[in-house]
Amino acid sequence: MGVTFYISAAVAVAATFAVITRYNAVHALLYLIVSLLAVSLVFFTLGAPFVAALEAIIYAGAIMVLFIFVIMILNLGPQAARLERAWLKPGMWLGPSALALILAGELAYIIVSGGGRGSAGEAVVGARQVGIALFGPYLIGVELASMLLLAGLVGAYHLGRRCEGNGGPAGSGRSGGQAP
């Protein structure tokens, strides 16, 4: 299990370095998804399978989809098709694909070598213990997180509604935006 950790750590650092050096936002997103998957594999090797699943589902799935939505909204225009063609050049997806293939190989190795349980003696803190602790001593944290999510929902609704340009606040804001 040790070598799995080191390889995925190297993949995570390499992909993260690629994220902050890309010029194109979609390429950076591809690399960031690979980086998050690598961190998810690191969680798995550290004996935290529940959090590894959450990382893959929520971070690499849901949050990155939000980013992709916004980037695609902002890229709407006549040059979108040309950009799309430029994005699909082999040089663009070879890097993330190679890193993701390394991760897939590691995952296959883990599954073949015994599912990560007991193969290297790493203590696994599973979903059962996490759930018991989450709704036991940390119940107030769950309530606070729900309030935070509600506040985020209301705030995102408010900001998104004003963004549609219903005259008043957006118009006045635009006149202020042209000042500098």
Partner 1 sequence: MMAAVPANYGLLLAAALFILGLAGVLVRRNVIFILLSIEIMVNASGLAFVVGGSRWRQPDGQLMFIFILAMAAVEVSLGLALVLQLYHHLKSLDIDRASSMRG
Map the footprint of partner 1 across residues 79-118, applying CB under 8 A.
none
- Would you give the binding string for partner 1 spanning residues 32-61, x where CB under 8 A is met? x--xx--x--xx-xxxx-xx--xx--xx--
Candidates 72, 109, 145, 166: give the one binding partner 1 (CB under 8 A).
145
Q: Between residues 13 and 90, which has the closer beta carbon with respect to partner 1?
A: 13
Q: By CB under 8 A, which span of 5-13, 78-86, 90-98, 100-108 interacts with partner 1?
A: 5-13
Q: By CB under 8 A, which span of 18-26, 77-85, 86-94, 102-110 interacts with partner 1?
A: 18-26
Q: By CB under 8 A, which span of 21-29, 83-91, 92-100, 101-109 interacts with partner 1?
A: 21-29
Candidates 72, 83, 98, 148: give the one binding partner 1 (CB under 8 A).
148
Distance CA 48, CA 42 (A): 9
Q: By CB under 8 A, which span of 30-38, 78-86, 98-106, 108-116 interacts with partner 1?
A: 30-38
Full 3-state SS string of the chain: CHHHHHHHHHHHHHHHHHHCCCCCHHHHHHHHHHHHHHHHHHHHHCCCHHHHHHHHHHHHHHHHHHHHHHHHHHCCCCCHHHHHHHHCCHHHHHHHHHHHHHHHHHHHHHHHCCCCCCCCCCCCCCHHHHHHHHCCCCHHHHHHHHHHHHHHHHHHHHHHHHHCCCCHHHHHHHHHHCCC
Q: Between residues 5 and 90, which has the closer beta carbon with respect to partner 1?
A: 5
139 touching partner 1, by CB under 8 A = no
Candidates 87, 89, 129, 140: give the one binding partner 1 (CB under 8 A).
129
Q: How far is CA 98 from CA 44, 51, 90, 105, 164, in A?
A: 21, 25, 12, 11, 40
Q: Between residues 92 and 125, which has the closer beta carbon with respect to partner 1?
A: 125
